[in-house]
Amino acid sequence: MTGRLAGKVALISGGASGLGEGQAILYAREGASVVIGDLQDALGAKVVDQIISEGGKAKFTRLDVTSLTSWQAAVAFTVSSFGKLTTLVNNAGIFHPGGVIAETEQGWAKMISVNQTGVFLGMKAAAPELLKTGNAAIVNISSLYGLIGSPDAISYHASKAAVRVMGKGTALEFARQGIRVNTIFPGQIRTPILGDITPEQDAAIKASIPMGVVGDPMDIAHGSLYLASDEARYVTGAELWIDGGWYAGN
Ligand SMILES: NC(=O)c1ccc[n+]([C@@H]2O[C@H](COP(=O)([O-])OP(=O)(O)OC[C@H]3O[C@@H](n4cnc5c(N)ncnc54)[C@H](O)[C@@H]3O)[C@@H](O)[C@H]2O)c1
């Protein structure tokens, strides 16, 4: 531990699994107090136990990112637990495939609600507390699919592309008020969101990545750590793709 986030208090949505879990663990190792907000209570509690067993500080709160009142409760829980909120990570997200023909209105609405509206509501609920600290950071997790197209994921593309521009706009809104807002674009990272894939699909994914390997949650966590830390004090509205070179070929 080097304490790169010493004194920070972070609320991480979707912190019970995958990329959120990785960020929660690394943030805590670097000295942040972490609140994990997620729908998955048991998995969230497991991540909290791991952090505490490593000597870190963490708590879990049930959060549904599609609800402003749920977000407001999570922010209040964070402040009552650790005294302030300095860092928001909008990480929770869902994925299902489907192009224009296959996607349903319900599927579209669900995706937009979690991946896009969830990010708006998180920033809206957290902003009053972040503004109080005068030195705060928001890290939004988009996706390489927010930058490039594919034939089979229309609502996911729409939600993640929106997060891209929302991050830029919010960076400008708060540029002189002490909140930095940056966006990470993960490529293919091994987490439960990828679902069950066959060895053939796995081989095809790897073949599409210039570096030839699928990423690990810690690859994203290290980028997020930088953006959340004071090392990035002059960085706002930025876009960091962590993707094994995938975007370079597009
Ligand atoms: N894994 C990848 O390859 C990849 C690539 C690009 C972007 N992403 C993005 O990274 C983020 C994290 O995904 P992951 O790969 O860790 O997936 P994951 O499924 O392991 O984790 C997502 C977490 O979000 C939580 N969540 C879902 N809906 C929620 C809601 N309404 N309220 C609160 N929590 C909710 C889930 O319970 C889960 O714990 C997502 O935004 C995803 O779109 C992932």
Mind listing the pLDDT tens digit for each residue in 146-178?
A: 999 999 999 999 999 999 999 999 999 999 999
Alpha helices, DSSP H, located in the chain: 18-29, 41-53, 68-82, 105-111, 118-133, 154-173, 199-208, 217-228
Query: Ligand 1 pocket by C-beta < 6 Å: which residues?
Result: 13-14, 16-20, 38-40, 63-66, 91-95, 114, 141, 143, 186, 188-189, 191-194
Looking at the predicted structure, is the pLDDT value of residue 2 above 90?
A: no
Q: What is the pTM of this model?
A: 0.98
Structure tokens given for 213? 């390997």
Question: What value does the mean pLDDT take over residues 125-146?
Answer: 98
Using one digit for the tens of pLDDT, what is the confidence trace for 74-117?
999 999 999 999 999 999 999 999 999 999 999 999 999 999 99
Say what the pLDDT of residue 110 is: 98
The answer as to whether 192 is a domain residue is yes
Using one digit for the tens of pLDDT, what is the confidence trace for 62-72?
999 999 999 99
Best probe residue, ligand 1, of 17, 65, 213 (max atoms within 8 Å of C-beta): 17
Amino acid at 42: A
Best probe residue, ligand 1, of 11, 13, 19, 214 (max atoms within 8 Å of C-beta): 19
Task: Calculate how far, in angstroms, residue 14's C-alpha sits from the geometric centre of ligand 1.
Answer: 6
Task: Calculate how far, in angstroms, residue 192's C-alpha sits from the geometric centre of ligand 1.
Answer: 8
Looking at the predicted structure, is the pLDDT value of residue 1 above 80?
A: no
Give the ligand 1 atom nearest the CA of 142: 7
Looking at the predicted structure, is the pLDDT value of residue 7 above 80?
A: yes
Using one digit for the tens of pLDDT, what is the confidence trace for 12-53?
999 999 999 999 999 999 999 999 999 999 999 999 999 999
The answer as to whether 83 is a domain residue is yes
- Residue of the nearest CA to atom 20 in ligand 1? 18
Using one digit for the tens of pLDDT, what is the confidence trace for 190-208?
999 888 888 998 999 999 9
Which range of residues forms the domain containing residue 73?
9-239
- Domains in the chain, number: 1
Question: Could you list the active site residues?
Answer: 156
Q: Which residues have a Cβ under 8 Å from the Cβ of 100 and sit 6 or more positions away?
A: 154
Say what the pLDDT of residue 196 is: 83
Best probe residue, ligand 1, of 23, 159, 193 (max atoms within 8 Å of C-beta): 193
Q: Give the C-alpha separation, 107 to 54, whole Å.
A: 39
The answer as to whether 67 is a domain residue is yes
The answer to which of 180-189, 199-208, 213-222 has the lowest mean pLDDT is 199-208
Give the ligand 1 atom nearest the CA of 19: 16
Task: Calculate how far, in angstroms, residue 15's C-alpha sits from the geometric centre of ligand 1.
Answer: 8
The answer as to whether 220 is a domain residue is yes
Domain of 121: which CATH number? 3.40.50.720
Task: Calculate how far, in angstroms, residue 144's C-alpha sits from the geometric centre of ligand 1.
Answer: 14
- Considering only CA atoms, which of 37, 4, 228 is closest in space to residue 137? 228
CA of 26: how far to CAs of 3, 23, 39, in Å? 10, 5, 21
